[in-house]
Amino acid sequence: MGKTLMEIAADLQKDPQQVQLIYAFNGVGKTRLSRAFKENISPKDTDGEEGEKIKFIYYNAFTEDLFYWDNDLDDGVTRKLIIRPNGFTNWILKEEGRENNIITFFQHYTNNKLSPRFSESYDEISFSLEGGNEETIENIKISKGEESCFIWCIFYSLLQEIVEVLSIAEPEDRSTHQFDHLEYIFIDDPVSSLDENHLIELAVNIATLITKGPKNLKYIITTHNPLFYNVLYNELHLKKKNKRNSPCAYMLSKTEDGTYDIISKLGDSNKSFSYHLFLKQTIQEAIDTGNIQKYHFTLLRNLYEKTANFLGYEKWSELLPDDKTVYYSRIINYTSHSTLSTEMIAEPTEQEKKTVSLLLNHLIDNSRYWKEKEEDQNDTI
């Protein structure tokens, strides 16, 4: 028999690891787990109220409930996204003035011609879209995916500011004291509507924030996306921290009797859901269709890392072609880490696209690991 979500939440709370990464398929109970965790840590909904000791904040489906549309049903002209009153958005918008940062993030992840505009009281947002011939369409209603992205950008800006504040060692020197008691941040499947390129960026940005932030601040991150899981696993160096007697990576599943199992996973998502095959297929499809993007270099490097790990190589670069190891290593490293949200991701050059194809073929044709995989596949046909 498994455990209840409250019991799993209690176990996660006691765990000494700074980051706990959990994979689960959609519908299993990730969002319910985040609520159970909140009830364990802070039963009362503080919403960032002055004087409250905030121990826990989260991003999940309930975060989006803080926002709702006024569709102007009478005239259908002035559609606005309304923010329910709460201390967190008041602080990040009114006190810290981070609206420009939020807009920059949002336009980067969606469309630089799609512009949010906050009201003077910061309790509602309207959106406009620049069209052709310098025409601007005002007061549009954005898609659900864009709306989720916008809400995430607000939360991420809040998270950035919190980490910056808590990184100041002396509490008396901080600009606010409302987060002095913060212990846990729970992030549940942020912006699943993003394309793979931006999803990788998002994972890298979160990992960077965690790594540079205070070590006593703990994170629980849940996702149904194997790519997001895998990038976080590697960027947070969980391979070194994820031990059998002290795990930090899990898979959550629901049993037939309605309880839950949370099983530790040693290794990245490759061992749990054939992620290596997904990577190879994704890269090959991009090559076949001529649609190679910058993020395919990241996936390619990931594939090299997995193969090197299986074959026992200390460095993945040892698998690269001998005559161009340094050149290819630099290209892959550069494109893998050009993923900060403030950078523009340019279209790869034709030479870079050829590099992806060359390196994938080199890996598949010269690796015992992939020859065994092909033999295994042929045996099952």
Alpha-carbon gap, residue 295 to 278, rounded angstroms: 14
pLDDT > 70 fraction of the chain, expressed in percent and rounded: 87
214: region left, alpha or beta (phi > 0 left; psi from -120 to 50 alpha) = beta
- With contact defined as beta carbons under 8 Å apart, do 7 and 261 qualify? no
How big is the chain by its Cα radius of gyration, in Å? 23
Alpha-carbon gap, residue 357 to 61, rounded angstroms: 39
- With contact defined as beta carbons under 8 Å apart, do 59 and 190 qualify? yes
How far CA 324 is from CA of 113, 293, 349, in Å, comes to: 41, 22, 18
Residue 38's closest CA among 21, 62, 74? 62
Partner residues linked to 264 by β-bridges: 250
Q: For the chain, which ranges sit under pLDDT 50?
A: 337-345, 377-381
* CB atoms near residue 65 (< 10 Å): 10
- With contact defined as beta carbons under 8 Å apart, do 47 and 84 qualify? no
Which burial class, exposed, middle or buried, applies to 223 when counting CB atoms under 10 A from its CB (0-12, 13-18, 19+)? buried
State whether residue 15 is helix, strand or coil: coil
State whether residue 55 is helix, strand or coil: coil
Alpha-carbon gap, residue 195 to 183, rounded angstroms: 31
How far CA 285 is from CA of 85, 273, 368, in Å, comes to: 47, 19, 22
How far CA 319 is from CA of 274, 275, 280, 308, 337, in Å, comes to: 21, 19, 16, 7, 20
* CB atoms near residue 177 (< 10 Å): 12
DSSP string, 101-148: HHHHHHHHHS-TTEEEEE-TTSSEEEEEEE-STT-EE-SPPPPHHHHH
- With contact defined as beta carbons under 8 Å apart, do 159 and 97 qualify? no
Size of the chain in residues: 381
List b or e across 244-274, with b for residues whose CB sees 16 or more CB atoms inside 10 angstroms.
eeebbbbbbebeeeeebebeebeebbbebee
Contacts made by residues 240-245, CB under 8 angstroms, sequence distance 24+: 241/17, 241/19, 242/266, 242/267
Q: What is the pLDDT of residue 338?
A: 45
Provide the sign of the torsion angle of the four alpha carbons 282, 284, 285, 290, taken in this order.
Answer: positive
DSSP 58: E
State whether residue 258 is helix, strand or coil: coil
State whether residue 257 is helix, strand or coil: coil
Q: What is the pLDDT of residues 245-273, one digit of tens each?
A: 888 999 898 887 889 999 888 766 655 55
Q: What is the pLDDT of residue 46?
A: 54
Q: What is the pLDDT of residues 90-140, one digit of tens each?
A: 999 999 999 999 999 999 999 999 999 999 999 999 999 997 777 889 999
Compute the C-alpha angle 167/172/177, nearest 5°.
70
Q: What is the pLDDT of residue 343?
A: 44
